[in-house]
Amino acid sequence: MAYTLSTAFAIYFVIWWVTLFLTLPFGVRSQHEDGVGAPGTDPGAPIASRMGIKLIWNTVISAVVFGLGMLAYDAGYLSIERLSKLMGMPY
């Protein structure tokens, strides 16, 4: 069964969204850790979140994960029949 373009985009979007939550905490320093901060702000607030770099890395990581998944699917390693046998469930 081949993916349509909309199905592939939906799967990529879900992978992108999950990897976003995985990449958000990396490299964030709080005001408390650096000892700086404006009065009246939360000490746990980040100094510089660098969202642009994180979005680029997130796109690259999710594209690699999606590509590996598509290669595994095309090679026959990922299929409903194979996964159901691994889980011990009837198809």
Distance (Å, whole) CA 52 – CA 50: 6
- Return the pLDDT at 29: 85
pTM over 0.75: no
Cβ neighbours of residue 79 under 8 Å, at least 6 residues apart? 73
User: What pLDDT shows up at residue 44?
Assistant: 84
pLDDT tens for the chain, 91 residues long, are: 556 889 899 999 999 999 999 999 888 888 888 888 788 888 888 888 889 999 999 999 999 999 998 888 888 777 767 767 777 766 5
